[in-house]
Structure 1
């Protein structure tokens, strides 16, 4: 339960700091999917098909800006930028492949 509180605080922090506000990113992804994406990137977790769709719809620019701004926040200075960027790219590519797969469009 503590990890959910950490991610809830993270989302509140991101929203209040205007991180998601760039390029109207805040209108493109639901809060539960933000939590899933952050768990997938910043911790150990998976992202559902539904949230993968929302992440791809969010767009690469918003996705990258979110990750970059989070890494710039002093609260997350303990994170390894190289590891987080690699996980971010992996999550993005996995979601993109999932959304582009023929079985998803049927």
Structure 2
């Protein structure tokens, strides 16, 4: 539970302050597409822990992530990786987890719902 609180603080810090080392391209994508306001905080935290930790992602969060869009998703992940707080993480591993999360959510949203 303490780990979740630490990540909550980090996500709030990330969303309010932004990453100091962000590239102009990612910042421009994020700003032009209002990426930081398209998902509710609960889903931002869930997606974040799914990518940067080992947590599962709910169907509702997947729906929110797909609505956010791949461009926003990628730019936000890249900006997070540029944050000095995450300098010890492997960019290749995080990028792979980010792509896997995106593809899993996209497949889930695109698959037909079972009839009731």
TM-score with structure 2 length normalisation? Answer: 0.83
Q: What is the aligned partner in structure 1 of residue 6 from structure 2?
A: 6
Residue 88 to residue 104, structure 1, CA distance change in 2 (3 Å): farther
CA gap of 1:105–1:27, structure 2 versus 1, over 3 A, is farther
1:61 maps onto 2:71 in alignment: yes
Return structure 1 stretches of 4+ with deviation > 3 angstroms: 18-21
Query: For each residue in 1:55-80, what CA deviation from the matched residue of structure 2 results, as whole angstroms up to 9, or x when unmatched?
Result: 00001111001100110000000100
Q: What are the ranges of 5 or more consecutive residues in structure 2 without an aligned counterpart?
A: 20-26
Structure 1 residue corresponding to 2:84, chosen from 74, 80, 98: 74
Give how far 1:104 is off.
6.9
2:100 pairs, out of 87, 90, 100, with 90
Question: Deviation at 1:47?
Answer: 0.5
Matched, 1:25 2:35: yes
Instruction: Name whichever structure is richer in helix by fraction.
Output: 1
CA deviations over 1:77-106 (Å, ceiling 9, x no partner): 010000000000000000000000011798
RMSD over aligned CA atoms reads 2.0
Larger relative contact order (CA 8 Å, sep ≥ 6) = 2
Distance 1:25 1:70 in 2: 13
Measured in 2, the distance between the counterparts of 1:78 and 1:97 equals 31
Which protein is bigger by CA-based radius of gyration? 2
Number of matched residues? 106
TM-score by structure 1 length? 0.91
